[in-house]
Structure 1
Amino acid sequence: MQEKLRIRMMELMSSTQEDVLAGVGPRLRALRRARNTTLADLATETDLTASTLSRLENGKLRPTLEQLLPLARAHGVPLDDLVAAPPTGDPRIHLKPVRRFGLTVVPLTRRAGGVQAYKVIYPPARRAPTMKLHTHEGYEWFYVLNGHVRFVLGDQEFHLGPGEAAEFDTRVPHWLGSADTHPAELLTLFGPQGERAHLSRPNNQPLEVGNDGRLAGY
Structure 2
Amino acid sequence: MTDEMSSVGQLDAEALGARLRVLRKGAGLTLRELADALDISASAVSQIERGVRRPSVSRLLAIVQVLGRPLADVFDPTGEPEAGAAPSDPSGYVLARSGASKPVTLGTGVVFRRLSPATTTGVDFFESTYPAGGGATDLDTLITHEGYEVGTVTAGELTIDFPDERVVLRAGDSITFPCALPHRMGNTGTDDAVATWLIVHS
User: What TM-score, normalized by structure 2, do the two folds share?
Assistant: 0.48
Q: Which structure shows the bigger proportion of residues in helix conformation?
A: 1
Task: Select the structure with the greater relative contact order (CA < 8 A; seq sep ≥ 6).
Answer: 2
